[in-house]
Amino acid sequence: MLIKKSVSIRSSEITPRDIYEQRRKFLKTSIHAGIGLATSGLLTTYSPGVFAGYGLKRLKHTKNSRFTVDDELTKYKDVTTYNNFYEFGTSKSSPAANAGKLTTEPWSIRVEGHVEKPASYHLEDLINENALEERIYRLRCVERWSMVIPWLGFPLAELIKKVKPTSKAKYVEFSTLYRPDEMKGQRRSVLDWPYVEGLRIDEAMNPLAFLAVGLYGEVLPNQNGAPIRLVVPWKYGFKSIKSIVKLRFTEQQPVSSWTRAAPNEYGFYSNVNPEVDHPRWSQSRERRIGDFFKRKTLMFNGYADEVAHLYKGMDLKKYF
């Protein structure tokens, strides 16, 4: 088992969260001062914590140094209380207030469509079959705010390889859980539920595409997409679908929920592109949560070197 209940953790194993949040600054300062540090303990032990009235669990993992950024991490409190998750309400504070009722155990993901191995996969099996790793990614939302989060999970490509898509599979369609009795936002027709998103196969196979099951060393809080969500860091946040229960491999491009709701505002690709404004505001600048001043929005959210080749020859203003 990779999941360790917080009650079983000795106090000597626990690193306070404020130390973790400052670790990057601490390490930089130490390096400049010429101090040699054994950092493995800082990078792999965390405070278990309790949030919103329910206990969280720690996840064993390793740190993937290939996928990291120099940006300061967003505070855990901000990451877990300022959310877009309309299944629990439309305000940024609604998910943290309302998501505690969501039941996340047991959990399975159904895989269907153009694959050789359609099946329902238990989340626990997927976690045990894949070595969990930490990746520090930026998350950029269309509302012009962004965060930097240490996600825990495994590459989406690993699950795709497991189910063996056929030659007809050109896209992957993802669906969120539909459970209005626990997800009160689904009792309103804000969107056409359940929430649906999609990627091209080559986008889904890109090494950056990530299935997250935790953040800051712990199991995902419900309001952040528990128990498993997608993280596509070069696209706007609404592409990173939460609480996934189904993957369907299709020949035709899926119709995403926000594209269906407002096609002139939310295109299928949804790549972070500062040159393409939202119809109601500019996307050229963004505000990092916790900062006062805005900063310049980077093409592909700063991941152009890794993903620009996916869109070679495409008009990124037309295919927004």
Please, what are the domains in the chain? Answer: 3-311 (3.90.420.10)
pLDDT at 57: 80
Mean of per-residue pLDDT scores for the chain? 86
297 close to 271: Cβ distance less than 8 angstroms: no
Q: Where are the beta strands (DSSP E) in 60-170?
A: 62-63, 108-113, 119-122, 133-140, 145-155
| In the predicted structure, residue 125 carries a pLDDT above the cut 90 | yes
pLDDT-derived band at 12, boundaries 50, 70, 90: very low
292: left (phi over 0), alpha (psi -120 to 50) or beta: alpha
Residues 74-88 have a mean pLDDT of 98
Residues 6 or more apart whose CB falls under 8 angstroms from that of 171 comprise 198, 199, 200, 201, 249, 250, 251, 252, 253, 254
Q: pLDDT for 170-193, tens place per residue?
A: 999 999 999 999 999 999 999 999
| In the predicted structure, residue 102 carries a pLDDT above the cut 90 | yes
Nearest residue to 17 (alpha-carbon basis) of 75, 61, 64: 75
Q: pLDDT for 236-284, tens place per residue?
A: 999 999 999 999 999 999 999 999 999 999 999 999 999 999 999 999 9
Residues 6 or more apart whose CB falls under 8 angstroms from that of 95 comprise 83, 84, 85, 87, 88, 89, 222, 223, 224
Nearest residue to 216 (alpha-carbon basis) of 138, 155, 146, 135: 135
Alpha-carbon 248 to chain mean position: 19
| In the predicted structure, residue 133 carries a pLDDT above the cut 50 | yes
Residues 149-177 have a mean pLDDT of 98
DSSP state of 44: H
pLDDT at 241: 98
In the beta sheet, which residues pair with residue 176? Answer: 244
| Total-model pTM | 0.83
